[in-house]
Structure 1
Amino acid sequence: MKPVVELVSTGSELLNGRSLNRHAQMLGARLDRMGFALARDTTVPDNLEAIQEALRAALGRVDVVIVSGGLGPTSDDITPEAAAGFFGRAVVTDPASLAALRKRYDRLGRPVTPAAERQARIVDSAAALSNPVGVAPGERLEVGGKTVFILPGPPAEFVAVLERHVLPWLDAAATDRPRSDRQSLMVCGLGESDIVALFDKAGFPPPELEVAYCAGPGRIEVRFGAGARGGDPESAAREAGRLLGGHVYSVEREEMEEVIGKLLIRGKTTLSTAESCTGGLLGGRITSVSGSSVYYRGGLIAYANDIKATRLGIPLEILERDGAVSSAVAGRMASAVRERFGSDFGLGITGIAGPDGGTPEKPAGLVFIALAGEKFVRMRKYRFGGDRDRVREWSVRMALDLLRRHLQGVTEPDAFGTDGP
């Protein structure tokens, strides 16, 4: 079996914008780590003919197809019927899945209706794949040397069945999978053009290597792989790390908040946050890491000026003179939350997320970020572009990076902001 997979995502809600299709991202990342390739993702509505046509096209190109969605209890959940019709089989009820469904419903005190029982149906002769976090099982069909997996649509269930059943099967079935030989660097504080300019100046990387860039708000993954003529991704990653210096925050594809957590634990230090325009997004990002209670003391959302004054003790004259969006207020926020929460470090963010609220002097996207320690306050001024969500995401990323640079002793600033007022 060739290490190439196609995905067929079913669901009209994925096409009309009511739901975000995350299946390709979740599947592609896991396949990539195994040395497989996700060759294509086709999204189709809840329509028998559309699902069957997508199956026909995908099976004409690859040996393994994964179909997501359409296993639920409602009338538009028709993926088993579409697959059964395509392969000339019947739809049957899987006894083990039905028994598990009834046990789950009984535990929850819910009646088992005919609609609920629909979730136990599979294509005849398919292997049912248990769902550890949901009701509807996945299934695996083997037809003419081809394999089709059908997985539940909800992201948590999709991943659970994928990791329990599909990935182990793929790992065992692949016969000519190339060695997974890729290296990544996670970079914050430089844009793609900045990175390319640094590489070009150094005559890097060598032509036999494949290089890919994946950009997100405030961070870029630089990825090296062995090309057709070979190459050494590990050596390339080391050289890239030397060229990029302190802008590299991880070589393990970690998120910034994970790196911050490890650094704080290593230093036996703690953190607290005061947020305005990010509205708790920074604290949420920090606490998304398991075990963050060891180093995160807590946070305060000080959106209104009177809260900044009463809860953080920022003098009204500073708020009136400099404005709530200023380096002076960001610095006071960071210092005050550090003192009041009894932490080693404090981060403060204040800005105008937009799209409204800006002025010629202080336009939308203007953000001030401050880091306070026992004997210092460090401030950065930014002007972020994009919509409200993007400004907030950038703000969180750069606040974490400001702390990361301090904890790692990086003196080089990021390329996006300026120091001080």
Structure 2
Amino acid sequence: MSRPRAAIVVTGSELVRGERTDRNGPFYAREALSLGLVPERILIVGDDPVDLEAALRAARESPVCLVSGGLGPTHDDRTVELVARVAGAALRVDERLEREIEAVSRSVAERLGRPYADFAAGVAKQATIPEGAEVIGIAGTAPGLVVRGGGCVFVVLPGPPGELRRLWPAALASEALGAVLARTVPPSRHVLRFYGASESAVARALAEAGGDGHGVEATICARDFEIHVDLVVEPGAEERGDSLAEALRGPLARHLFTEDERTIAEIVLDLCRPQGLRLGTAESCTGGLVAARLTDVAGASDVFAGGVVAYANDVKAAELGVPEELLAAHGAVSAEVAAAMAGGVRRRFGVDVGIAVTGVAGPGGGTPEKPVGLVHYHVSAPGLEKGREFSLPSDRETIRSRATVASLHLARRVLTRSRHEVV
């Protein structure tokens, strides 16, 4: 069975100018793939109507076109108008939708202390939709729409990622998109995540196993200092997919840390929960990035108590109890101070696990003995203390990111009592 193809059109001049990073295109692509569609392209265009219409016309050649952005009340929000033109549908005001958007707008006007008249024109604009479009809900005041036209099903959702994801299940339940998905057979997947292995080592292991093809598509991606391998397996090729996954597990077993799509922060939190452990962070050069990764995870509060950003030595001493003589003897960037910071945050917050990071992120501040890129990190847990270091000559952002990821992976190894000590 030939799988239907899906084109993705993401609109917003702020994306084209590089002011924001597109999150909707990758989300759409992952979802399309999991549903059995083939994501063939992601087109990112600005708000210029000529460019947007051209992108929509090109995307109309696919059975499905997933669109995000341009559904607001202002003059440069033209997506609905252009989808209607490309689909060959007239525009009309949907009175029921207009009442819904009006109710939301009146509530906003009241909270802001502004007259509703300021919002009225935008309400009428957002309630004007293509003839025959299915309204699947609203997010804020932006409607989600499913539109048939020219042999293509257009799914049109708002640009803010949270709003798009909230309306996505309703799009899947729509009659038009459901009819396309009924013709698909979703592929199976193997997800393997490695830490401490090089991209070339993973590629070599895959090649030695026979490589992809014959119903299995393999992607190898270096991301956040991890190597992510996805094997997309077409129906009928399951045995080959299983064989390739097993071939990767064998020589790289010591580096394999998960076979699902959880982030390292999620894994650390999940390891703490069944043991009833609480966790705190003490950070210098990372400036709170470790805490940020952990609190990016919804529900982290049942494990993560808090963090201390102890940039200055006097803060390390006052807030974390790092002895001043230890700082004088070894310096702030040292294994001894990292260990003292990890123990200090455990005492400070009364937690079971402390993660500490201290280093020279640069671009200045390095010495021959302690160059830019030297980082010490330490994890203190009940019955086990582990510290590590790395020295990575690089830019400030890379050093801080590497330190964040490395400290979380060390926490994973401590919490699992792993015998593998890869950096």
Q: Normalised by the size of structure 1, how large is the TM-score?
A: 0.89
1:276 pairs with one of 275, 284, 287: 284
2:157 pairs with one of 151, 164, 173: 151
Q: State the distance in 2 between where 1:284 and 1:214 align.
A: 23
Q: State the distance in 1 between where 2:158 and 2:106 align.
A: 22
1:46 aligned residue: 47
Q: State the distance in 2 between where 1:244 and 1:213 align.
A: 14
1:185 aligned residue: 192
CA contact (8 A) 1:2 1:175 kept: no
2:83 aligned residue: 83
Q: State the distance in 2 between where 1:289 and 1:87 align.
A: 40
Q: State the distance in 1 between where 2:186 and 2:87 align.
A: 34
1:67 aligned residue: 67
1:15 aligned residue: 16
| Structure 1: gaps (5+ residues) | none
- Secondary structure at the aligned position of 1:81 is classed as helix
Distance 1:376 1:52, change over 3 A: closer
Residue 294 (1) aligns with residue 302 (2): yes
Q: State the distance in 2 between where 1:264 and 1:55 align.
A: 47
2:406 aligned residue: 398
1:315 aligned residue: 323
- Secondary structure at the aligned position of 2:252 is classed as helix
Q: Report Cα offsets for 1:293-324 as digits up to 9, x if no partner.
A: 33223221111111001111212232233221
- Secondary structure at the aligned position of 2:251 is classed as helix
Alignment of 1:211-360 (within 5 A): 211-226=218-233, 230=237, 231-360=239-368
Distance 1:363 1:90, change over 3 A: farther
2:25 aligned residue: 24
Distance 1:31 1:79, change over 3 A: same
1:365 Cα shift? 2.4
Alignment of 1:156-167 (within 5 A): 156-166=162-172
CA contact (8 A) 1:278 1:349 kept: yes
- Secondary structure at the aligned position of 1:46 is classed as coil
Aligned Cα RMSD in Å?
2.5
2:36 aligned residue: 35
Q: State the distance in 2 between where 1:168 and 1:385 align.
A: 52
Letter in 2 for 1:185: L
Letter in 1 for 2:231: F
Q: Report Cα offsets for 1:234-253 as digits up to 9, x if no partner.
A: 34334433332242221121
1:378 pairs with one of 376, 386, 406: 386
Alignment of 1:121-160 (within 5 A): 121-131=128-138, 133-160=139-166
Residue 120 (1) aligns with residue 127 (2): yes
- Secondary structure at the aligned position of 1:412 is classed as coil
Distance 1:41 1:205, change over 3 A: closer
Q: State the distance in 1 between where 2:247 and 2:178 align.
A: 32
- Secondary structure at the aligned position of 2:58 is classed as helix
1:197 Cα shift? 4.3
Q: State the distance in 1 between where 2:13 and 2:290 align.
A: 34
Residue 93 (1) aligns with residue 99 (2): no
Q: Report Cα offsets for 1:28-81 as digits up to 9, x if no partner.
A: 122222222211011222122212211222223x11112221111111111222
Q: Report Cα offsets for 1:251-295 as digits up to 9, x if no partner.
A: 121111221122111222222211111222212222333333332
Q: State the distance in 2 between where 1:358 and 1:304 align.
A: 16
CA contact (8 A) 2:157 2:164 kept: yes
Q: State the distance in 2 between where 1:206 and 1:151 align.
A: 35
Q: State the distance in 2 between where 1:92 and 1:74 align.
A: 18
- Secondary structure at the aligned position of 1:25 is classed as helix
Q: State the distance in 2 between where 1:64 and 1:18 align.
A: 28
Q: State the distance in 2 between where 1:78 and 1:138 align.
A: 14
1:397 Cα shift? 1.4
CA contact (8 A) 2:189 2:233 kept: yes
Q: State the distance in 2 between where 1:391 and 1:167 align.
A: 45
1:172 Cα shift? 4.5
- Secondary structure at the aligned position of 1:283 is classed as helix
Q: State the distance in 2 between where 1:391 and 1:206 align.
A: 34
Q: State the distance in 2 between where 1:157 and 1:385 align.
A: 40
1:386 Cα shift? 4.6
Q: State the distance in 1 between where 2:276 and 2:170 align.
A: 37
Distance 1:307 1:404, change over 3 A: same
Q: State the distance in 2 between where 1:142 and 1:163 align.
A: 18
1:82 Cα shift? 2.1
1:361 aligned residue: 369
1:355 Cα shift? 3.0
Q: State the distance in 2 between where 1:413 and 1:71 align.
A: 51
1:195 pairs with one of 202, 208, 218: 202
CA contact (8 A) 1:217 1:390 kept: no
Q: State the distance in 2 between where 1:257 and 1:279 align.
A: 17
